[in-house]
């Protein structure tokens, strides 16, 4: 008798940058590779000085599927090279660069995986994996529209003099909608800053990837996907093959006691009646803006759950690295009387909440969001329309796309010369989303995309098949 052929599972390492916005989608990719496609995955975690209760809670508190191992890179002390004046991306890249000095020895210890999947800021892995003859795939954590801008950035850098932010017209992106200078991501607003040089260096290496995975699906971003696949500019770079594999979002996770209380409160509210307010893993408001937000919610008289952090007047991303670990007492910074006046219609949660559980609840009817891509995907996947409140990184570009192209969001505006969005405008937009006919139209559009997202991930859906195509390449490499 001929013995049955032994099925060898490809072994893949997945390497995210620090920060929950990077860890979550790559961890969900890792789980999907293991559970749905029979791949063995080592999930590599960078640890550099910063404590993050949310990260530890997310990675350590759930039972991992067989075949998925969380592997810590040796911790590094970066206190001697991190300066207080370093901006977010510079700090992140320094942490990653120091941590990846051990990557080569770790990959050898793991038995040299068939492939390594990295996110945007781990491109030092190209050099390391080249020495080991391991193909590297990039997982692009933001939108496809943003990936086209990023691939175009080296050309912009060569052809444009001066600051992009000072350009008189929107920046044309081949095959895509132009980007208004005022919507540009923070990292390219000052070309003399270290974080611009870091960002440009990482994006310049994208063509080295064996392929680029995109956390999107065909129906969500058809124009950008067509451009990246077919436009002569992207073909001549050349752009690696792209694989839309999303939406990969956080699924179930353990609930905290405050989560349980919020969900119990939601159970007693009417369908689609509650506005959920959360500004991502790193987002904070200024003191003045937080007061206006509170008063605007109070005036609107709409139901809400507000995930609240201590205001920070210097840095809108101040909790990026230590989310869930900040010291927080809302009574000390909320306007006097707010909690008493809103106790019948609102709930305030300190620091962190299980966002997916809140968005999935049928009583949640709107999401005031910073428009980080993970939060955008979570909101659309659960059929919840958005009030766009971008803070940092590429969030202004996302907000513009969500409101003007995809049609799932509305955005409050600042008055002429204002540094904050005033309470009257906040109240107006909240009521518009939650009560008006315009809000109903946006909700219908979100529900359409919610259904298409589900179809994309189902077996034989577009994203499922796209990931399957990539896995066949990995299996073929094992055989050869």
What are the CA-CA distances from residue 386 to residues 182, 409, 410, 448 (Å)?
Answer: 21, 4, 7, 15
Q: Please, what's the largest Cα pairwise distance for the chain?
A: 83
Please write down the long-range contacts of 415-421, taking CB distance under 8 Å and 24 or more positions apart. 419/288, 420/286, 420/288, 420/289, 420/292, 421/289, 421/292, 421/293, 421/296
Strand 274-278 versus strand 386-388 pairing type: unpaired
Write out the E strands in 161-241.
Answer: 211-214
CB 472 within 8 A of CB 243: no
- Distance (Å, whole) CA 370 – CA 215: 18
- Distance (Å, whole) CA 212 – CA 207: 9
- Distance (Å, whole) CA 390 – CA 374: 13
Instruction: Tell me, rounded to whole angstroms, the distance of Cα 222 from its chain centroid.
Output: 19
- Pick the closest to residue 48 from 118, 101, 11 (CA basis): 101
| Class of residue 422 by CB neighbours under 10 A (exposed 0-12, middle 13-18, buried 19+) | middle
- Distance (Å, whole) CA 278 – CA 301: 18
The residue whose two tokens read 């315009």 is 438
- Distance (Å, whole) CA 121 – CA 114: 21
Instruction: Tell me, rounded to whole angstroms, the distance of Cα 156 from its chain centroid.
Output: 25
Token pair belonging to 285 = 């408001």
Q: Which residues are catalytic?
A: 22, 119
- Distance (Å, whole) CA 43 – CA 117: 10
- 10 Å Cβ neighbour count for 135? 17
Q: Residues with Cβ < 8 Å from 313, sequence gap 6 or more? A: 286, 287, 288
CB 426 within 8 A of CB 296: yes
- Pick the closest to residue 389 from 399, 400, 379 (CA basis): 399
Helix (H, G, I), strand (E, B) or coil at 250: coil
- Pick the closest to residue 240 from 200, 208, 218 (CA basis): 208
**What backbone phi and psi angles, to 5 degrees, belong to 426?**
-60, -45
Token pair belonging to 118 = 């990295």
């Amino acid at each position: 008798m001929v013995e049955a052929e032994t099925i060898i599972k490809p072994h893949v390492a997945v390497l995210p940058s620090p920060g929950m916005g990077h860890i979550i989608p790559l961890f969900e990719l890792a789980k999907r590779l293991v559970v749905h496609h029979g791949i063995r995955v080592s999930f590599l975690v960078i640890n550099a000085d910063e404590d993050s209760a949310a990260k530890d809670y997310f990675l350590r508190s759930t039972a991992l599927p067989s075949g998925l191992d969380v592997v810590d890179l040796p911790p590094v002390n970066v206190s001697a090279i991190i300066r207080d004046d370093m901006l977010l991306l510079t700090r992140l890249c320094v942490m990653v660069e120091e941590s990846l000095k051990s990557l080569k020895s770790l990959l050898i210890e793991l038995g040299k995986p068939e492939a390594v999947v990295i996110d945007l800021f781990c491109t030092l892995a190209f050099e390391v994996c080249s020495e080991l003859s391991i193909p590297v795939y990039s997982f692009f954590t933001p939108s496809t529209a943003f990936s086209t801008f990023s691939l175009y950035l080296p050309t912009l850098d060569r052809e444009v003099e001066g600051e992009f932010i000072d350009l008189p017209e929107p920046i044309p992106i081949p095959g895509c909608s132009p980007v208004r200078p005022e919507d540009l991501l923070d990292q390219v607003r000052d070309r003399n800053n270290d974080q611009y040089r870091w960002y440009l260096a990482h994006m310049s290496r994208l063509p080295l990837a064996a392929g680029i995975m995109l956390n999107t699906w065909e129906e969500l971003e058809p124009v950008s996907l067509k451009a990246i696949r077919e436009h002569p500019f992207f073909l001549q770079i050349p752009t690696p093959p792209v694989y839309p594999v999303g939406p990969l979002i956080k699924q179930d996770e353990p609930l905290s006691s405050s989560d349980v209380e919020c969900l119990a409160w939601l159970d007693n509210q009417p369908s689609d009646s509650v506005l959920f307010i959360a500004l991502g893993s790193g987002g904070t408001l200024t003191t003045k803006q937080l007061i206006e937000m509170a008063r605007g919610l109070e005036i609107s008289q709409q139901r809400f759950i507000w995930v609240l952090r201590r205001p920070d007047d210097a840095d809108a991303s101040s909790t990026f690295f230590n989310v869930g670990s900040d010291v927080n007492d809302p009574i000390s910074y909320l306007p006097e009387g707010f909690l008493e006046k809103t106790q019948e219609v609102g709930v305030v949660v300190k620091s962190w909440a299980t966002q997916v559980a809140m968005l999935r609840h049928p009583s949640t009817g709107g999401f005031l969001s910073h428009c980080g891509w993970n939060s955008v995907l979570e909101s659309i996947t659960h059929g919840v329309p958005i009030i766009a409140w971008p803070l940092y990184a590429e969030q202004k570009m996302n907000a513009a796309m969500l409101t003007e192209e995809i049609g799932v969001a509305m955005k409050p505006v600042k008055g002429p010369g204002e540094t904050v969005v005033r309470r009257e405008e906040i109240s107006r937009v909240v009521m518009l989303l939650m009560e008006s006919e315009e809000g109903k139209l946006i909700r219908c559009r979100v529900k359409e995309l919610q259904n298409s997202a589900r179809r994309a991930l189902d077996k034989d859906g577009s994203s499922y098949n796209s990931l399957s195509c990539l896995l066949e390449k990995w299996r073929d490499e094992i055989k050869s």
